[in-house]
């Protein structure tokens, strides 16, 4: 239960990062200052995506260290450290998926006034969809919510990830980031009046 709350908060953080990272200049009217520098738009996106990934890796790393310390304190029997790492890595994978979705949305919509309602609405929507899917049979509908891509019981039983879900997460990340590069490179950024 605690992990699902942490996953929800981490997804909100990642979606907020993704939506705000490229739309911030347009929203705060600093795009002129950034885009007149002698660097390409792809270099701008590179720097912003790498900064976001760094923040998400740091967040996930802190979570893993705290979770490992707490698990060591409260353990009543030895546990498999590899499985524990795999389960906790799903938090980072979930964050990467939401980062890519948020980044795609930020370049798709040119006039984002407020980032928080979009971030909260989409993440809670996917979370509720995942909760509804969890109450039924696990069919193809589990691919609709990133919260259902990584099942802890499957990871414990097989000591690995479900290949189809892992590949879907990678595809969402690569396509979301790739399309964001393409759209941002061709997008008209309006000057400050």
Average the pLDDT over each of 37-41, 116-120, 154-158, 171-175 and give the range with the smallest value.
37-41
Domain count, the chain: 1
pLDDT tens digits along 125-135: 999 998 888 77
Q: Does 192 reside within a domain?
A: no
- In angstroms, the Cα distances linking 106 to 64, 119, 139 are 29, 11, 31
pLDDT tens digits along 42-101: 898 899 999 999 999 999 999 999 999 999 999 888 888 999 999 999 999 999 999 999
Which residues lie closer than 8 Å to 27 by C-beta, 6 or more apart? 112, 113, 115
Tokens of 138: 């696990």
Look at the block and give the residue holding tokens 């200052």. Answer: 33
Predicted local distance difference test score (pLDDT) of residue 67:
93
Instruction: Give the DSSP per-residue string, 104-137.
Output: HHHHH-S--S-HHHHHHHHHHHHHHHHHHHHHS-
Q: Does 117 reside within a domain?
A: yes
Tokens of 71: 């698990």
Which residues lie closer than 8 Å to 176 by C-beta, 6 or more apart? 99, 100, 101, 103, 104
Q: Does 92 reside within a domain?
A: yes
Instruction: Give the DSSP per-residue string, 33-99.
Output: HHHTSSS-HHHHHHHHHHHHHHHHHHHHHHHHHHHHHHHHHH-SS---HHHHHHHHHHHHHHHHHHH
Which residues constitute the domain of residue 127? 2-186
Q: Does 191 reside within a domain?
A: no
pTM here? 0.90
Q: Dihedrals φ, ψ of 183, to 5°?
A: -65, -45
How far apart are alpha carbons 142 and 140 in whole angstroms? 5
């Amino acid at each position: 239960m605690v992990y699902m709350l942490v996953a929800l908060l981490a997804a909100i953080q990642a979606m907020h990062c993704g939506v705000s990272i490229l739309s911030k200049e347009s929203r705060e009217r600093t795009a002129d200052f950034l885009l007149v520098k002698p660097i390409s738009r792809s270099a701008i996106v590179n720097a912003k995506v790498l900064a976001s990934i760094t923040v998400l890796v740091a967040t996930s790393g802190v979570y893993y260290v705290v979770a490992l310390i707490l698990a060591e304190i409260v353990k009543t029997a030895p546990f498999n450290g590899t499985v524990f790492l795999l389960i906790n890595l799903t938090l980072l994978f979930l964050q990467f998926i939401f980062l890519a979705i948020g980044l795609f949305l930020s370049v798709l919509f040119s006039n984002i006034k407020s980032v928080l309602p979009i971030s909260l609405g989409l993440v809670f929507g996917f979370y509720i969809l995942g909760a509804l899917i969890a109450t039924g049979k696990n069919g193809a509908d589990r691919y609709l919510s990133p919260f259902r891509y990584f099942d802890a019981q499957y990871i414990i039983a097989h000591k690995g990830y479900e290949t189809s879900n892992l590949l879907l997460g990678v595809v969402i990340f690569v396509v979301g980031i790739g399309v964001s590069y393409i759209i941002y490179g061709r997008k008209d950024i309006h000057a400050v009046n």
